[in-house]
Structure 1
Amino acid sequence: MLDVVGHPLAALVRGRRPGYSLDAPFYVSPEIFAADMEIIFGHHWIYVGVEPDVPEPGDAMVVDIGKDSIIIVRDDENRVVAFHNVCRHRGARILHNEKTTVGNIVCRYHSWTYDLSGALIHAEHMGPGFDRSCHGLKPVHLRSLEGLLFICLADEPPADFDDMARVMGPYIAPHDLRNTKIAFQSELIEKGNWKLVMENNRECYHCAGNHPELTIPLFAYGFGFAPEDMDEHERANAHRYSCMVQERHDGWEAAGLPSREVEHLADRVTGFRTERLPLDGEGEAHTLDTRAASKKLLGSFKTAKLGALSFWTQPNSWHHFMSDHIVTFSAIPLDADNTLVRTKWLVHKDAVEGVDYDIDRLTEVWQATNVQDAELVGFCQQGARSPAYEPGPYSPNTEMLVEKFCSWYVGRLADHLGL
């Protein structure tokens, strides 16, 4: 447990200036990184994957969060459950591959064997008084939000997950994530602190000059603007966009597709935000021609022109749900200077590669965008290490959600430290 008495983190938390980027130690200090892993990633709901990662009983996935390694497995009752990847004999790591299929969970070291419920069912040479029931795998809290998997490493997880699920379930359910498959997964190590990765995601101030692919399907007015800087023509276009969003929301909601913004990024322990927004061009998907990337639509959708539903969670995820495919992102801290960004593209489980979809076309917008973002995050990490760095002001028109992320983060530290 972090010793907070006299800890310099407490002074940094107290001194954080709202509306400005964080002080440099928040981005570069190994000690603060360790505190982040304990306070943020050790006590909050962390997005780690999707139910299609483990589609059948016996399918297992390993996710590493800092020093913790977690087994996520679908059991014989078709439930998705999670355990610490640590044998109860002498602590050996049990599963070593990211994805595998098992009948039982067997430790290679001394063949201690656990069933898919985590119970120890076989342990040779332990004597007549040995009680197997006391040595099952240690469970990890796991919740599925319409197929999105979240774990919490704390003994007592935040209790407000149900509130998020109640709100978000109707938004996500029509996309029927449980009946999708992972068409492609990428893993990219960004050379920056995890908070810089998340800050970069929480704004599109940088998009116009850095994301030529992403800005094709996105409307320029969808991510904030400064009316005082616009001429009459630009203000008219912004007004038309606002009217279009309202009209689309009315139509989507009338058709049973929740769409309007819900924003709780800074005022809840389990912070989140969602909104469905129209897409430019054909309005179907995040593709270069703005048309659906898969011929087989998700759920019971009859039209591809449903824009894109965005869903963000604190501290480490963002997701885009379209009529034909879903893209999910998780940011996993590696150390103070490096973050793993894991991206999954999901299509209907019956879609056939090369017939219904092409991998390159499905992934090209976000593959390019991820690489571009990684470079930008690297620039910020380099700058944060400079003696010349000092916190700079966020744009109130386009970086308001970055401020909400930082406010949530500092607030969670303050709560844990008792400040």
Structure 2
Amino acid sequence: MKKLSQILDLKKIKVVNKNIHKAHGLPNECYTDDEYLSVERKKIFENKWVVIGVGSSIPNVGDAKPFDLLGIPLIILRDKNNKIKVFHNVCSHRGYKILQEKCKIKNVIRCPYHSWSYDMGGKLIATPHIGGMNKHSCNKFSKSKSGLKEVRSHVWLDLIFVNINNNEIDFEKYIEPLSDRWKKFWPIKDRDLIVYSKDYGYFNLNAKCNWKFAIENYCESYHLPWVHPGLNSYSKIDDHYHIQGLPNRFAGQGTMVYNPRFKSSLKFPTFPNWPKDQEHIAEYVALFPNVMLGIHKDHFYAYWLEPVNNEYTKEHMEIFYVGNEAANSKKFKSLRKQNFELWKGVQSEDLNIIEGMQDGRKSPSYNGGNFSPVMDNPTHHFHKWVANNIMK
């Protein structure tokens, strides 16, 4: 086993080599070593804008749910102003993890340990018996300095992003390169039309592998003929193109022949300003570190990752349509079901592949792997992003 210092010196193993044909991928330990994962949590999952859920999962005022980001306990809630807020899920008194399960908050968030209570803005409003029996205040203690600690957050396309260490650039600036890319066929005013599907809008898969494998696999179309024969029957390798976003925050692929084969003459409504001459374009972009996006003329999805440990990742798929009728009416229910089954089938086909790569990282003979100079550019793009951020 390499020492952590050797793993982090990724320049020596040529991961960040600009020439892809000379580069190696990340070494085995980046997928198997717990000490490395702790560094990755600090330098990637605490320093970057990371997805932890969607607003649709807490649709009403007072809805709240816990979420653990690689062990960091958080609270996601919708406050009285209908705004989504994220707090560290820990009482300022004795450090108890306050929220244990999804719930409806009426007025206060109460810690079960000593009943210290906070309002939905995180303000500490009740400290029972803090100064002795029936003395609920204390001259030597200031409630104003002991509220819940809010986490910097931003909601974009219903996705809840957090920046734990509050050290990344403003989200609007961060997302600008990808947002600008999509303006040509998905204008910003059309993005406000997306509506979450309540019946066939979500599924999850449990992947017995490191979170990075899902991103690596999603970035490229090289595997289509062997892993996705159904999809490949109408969307072949040579129908795809690479996407490598600069500055290096996203990568992926696009297809020029999007045309799903559903058993219905009915068609989903399309985004009103999607160009007619690009209606068969669809793009699949991994926004680093942990969300994979799919945009089409008639729906949008976000496939986000919840890393649990080196060998276990929860995958969450959220599907949105153009307007409430397409998303939730009986008229389109059969079509939604078919689209749901299409994407669940495609993503399920990838499970054995990404889990097999995890198993392969147990081999001491593997050196990080080689890249196809033609087919693997987006995956290499992601490896460089990881390496450069770990080395900072």
Common fold by TM > 0.5: yes
**8 A contact 1:193–1:381 mirrored in 2:** yes
Mean Cα deviation higher: 346-355 or 402-411: 346-355
In percent, how many aligned pairs have the same letter? Answer: 25
Alignment of 1:152-163 (within 5 A): 152-154=163-165, 156-159=166-169, 161-163=171-173
Query: Does structure 1 conserve the Cα–Cα contact (< 8 Å) formed by 2:7 and 2:27?
Result: no
Correspondence for 1:91 among 95, 102, 109: 95
**Cα pair 1:214 1:366 within 8 Å, conserved:** no
Bigger mean CA offset, 196-205 vs 170-179 = 170-179
Counterpart of 2:262 in structure 1 is 289
Partner of 2:257: 279
**Deviation sequence 1:132-188 (CA, Å, 0-9, x none):** 21221111110122432211111x321153323334174473132664345432222
Conserved in 1, the CA contact under 8 Å of 2:250 and 2:287?
Answer: yes
1:313 aligns with 2:290: no
Report the AA paired with residue 159 of structure 1.
I
Taking the aligned partners of 1:72 and 1:172, their CA distance within structure 2 comes to 29
Answer yes or no: is 1:336 the counterpart of 2:340. Answer: no
Task: State the 1:51 CA deviation.
Answer: 2.5
Q: Deviations over 1:6-43 (max 9, x none)?
A: 82333345333433222221222122122111211121
Q: Is the 8 A contact 2:224 2:236 kept in 1?
A: no
Aligned to 1:210: 227
Give the aligned partner of residue 411 of structure 1.
388
User: Take 2:103 and 2:329, find their aligned partners in 1: how far apart are those partners?
Assistant: 22
Q: 2:109 aligns with which of 86, 105, 128?
A: 105
Q: Report Cα offsets for 1:82-107 as digits up to 9, x if no partner.
A: 1011122222222222x433223222
TM-score using structure 1 length: 0.77
Change (3 A) 1:309 1:53: farther
Q: Mapping of 1:15-414 within 5 angstroms?
A: 15-17=13-15, 18=17, 19-97=23-101, 99-103=102-106, 104-127=108-131, 128-129=138-139, 130-154=141-165, 156-159=166-169, 161-167=171-177, 168=179, 170=183, 171=186, 173=188, 174-176=190-192, 179-182=195-198, 183-216=200-233, 218-224=235-241, 263-264=245-246, 267-268=247-248, 271-273=249-251, 277-280=255-258, 283=259, 287-289=260-262, 295=268, 305=279, 307-347=281-321, 348-350=323-325, 351-352=327-328, 354-358=330-334, 360-414=337-391
Structure 1: distance between partners of 2:265 and 2:342: 13
Q: CA deviation at 1:296?
A: 5.2
Q: Provide structure 2 residue ranges, at least 5 long, that are not aligned to the other structure.
A: 18-22, 132-137
Conserved? CA contact 2:201–2:320, under 8 Å = yes
Q: What CA distance in whole angstroms lies between the structure 2 residues aligned with 1:112 and 1:144?
A: 29
1:274 deviates by 7.6
1:401 positional shift: 0.4
Classify 1:300/1:392 alpha carbon distance in 2 versus 1 (closer, same or farther; 3 Å).
Answer: closer
Instruction: Say if 1:192 and 1:276 are closer, same or farther in 2 by CA, change over 3 A.
Output: closer
Distance 2:4 2:328 in 1: 59
CA distance in 1 between partners of 2:267 and 2:91 (Å): 42
Pair 160,402 (structure 1): closer, same or farther in 2 beyond 3 Å: farther
Distance 1:200 1:30 in 2: 22
Kindly state the Cα deviation for residue 218 of structure 1 after the two structures are TM-superposed: 3.0
CA distance in 1, matches of 2:265, 2:164: 38
| TM-score, normalisation: structure 2 | 0.82
Superposed CA RMSD in Å reads 3.0
Distance 1:401-1:6 versus aligned 2 partners, 3 A rule: closer
**Map of 2:20 onto structure 1:** none
Query: Partner of 2:331: helix, strand, or coil?
Result: coil
